Amino acid sequence: MESQPVVFSGRANPRFTSVVCEGLGIELGRLEVIRFSDGELSVEIGDNVRGRDVFVVQSTCAPGNDHLMELLIVLDALRRSSAQRVTAVLPYFGYARQDRKLKPRVPITAKLVADLLTAAGASRVLTMDLHAGQIMGFFNIPVDNLNALPILLPYIKSKYRSDSLVIVSPDMGGVERARHLATRLDNAAIAVIDKRRSGPNQVAAMTVVGEVSGKECLIIDDIIDTGGTLVKAAETLLKQGATRVTACCVHPVLSGNALERLENSAIEELVVTDSIPVARASQCPKLTVLSVAPLFAEAIKRIHHDDSVSSLFR
């Protein structure tokens, strides 16, 4: 195995991959994506990868289908070019919210994506804050699921006092995430919002479980999509007597008019990572973007040298 890994970037977030390569002290691999007139994609690998340890960085964010197909094609090209090991690096794993059957005759698309990545040639997967941890079990290859907390926690500690802070989970499924953060903030208090959905991206009613009156509330979640749930949660917390509401979400999907909705909301600050590029981040004063590229650079370095990655999960 060569002394240095080879890192390629898809078109989802090339700036992120460049920062990763800077952290590794290597140059970005040469990869050209070709789009034909009928919309089909092809790729050309510009570097010799025979016998090399290769990493392909590509978040499957919007347009998710295009970025996923592009990643699959790159993986296939690398496998056919005799790369020794190919790691698919997905800072954001799209389709992760389709991880189980909630009603009859629906797919489990997260499992399908796992099968596609493996069939295309991925030897292992590196990702961050999967929507559901059991998705790792959908793969028959090694999966490293990083946690963004080592990047988020120092910022939160510098901004907020834990003695007056309540960590809020926006739903029952996120309680473990909220508890994980609260224990690292001198065992800050926890509250949970019980929400009832009337349809996809639609929340009918919310109830706060826990004491938030006279407290600062920090909502923690893995994904912010349209922002509707987050904004309504903030309004509910303020009605229950919270003094201020901020939010922290790892993956800024921010579809539709989410940024405008955030700007007009009662939320004072939204902290996210750069796992997904936010096109108009500079135009939203309430948005703070923290980079997880150094975390991925360190993980890639450890995987390449067959060192333990487990300490990065903590």
- Can you tell me the distance from the alpha carbon of 269 to that of 38, in angstroms, rounded to the nearest whole number? 43
Helix, strand, or coil (residue 210): coil
CB-based contact 309:302 (threshold 8 Å): yes
CB-based contact 87:122 (threshold 8 Å): yes
- Let me know if 101 is a catalytic residue: no
Catalytic residue, candidates 101, 103, 157, 195: 195
Please tell me whether the peptide bond between 63 and the residue prior to it is cis, using omega within 30 degrees of 0: yes
Rg for the chain, CA atoms, rounded: 20
**Strand 202-209 versus strand 6-9 pairing type:** unpaired
DSSP string, 100-131: S-SSTT---HHHHHHHHHHHHT-SEEEEES-S
Residues 6+ apart with CB under 8 A from 90: 58, 59, 60, 71, 125, 126, 127
- Can you tell me the distance from the alpha carbon of 163 to that of 185, in angstroms, rounded to the nearest whole number? 9
Active site residues: 195
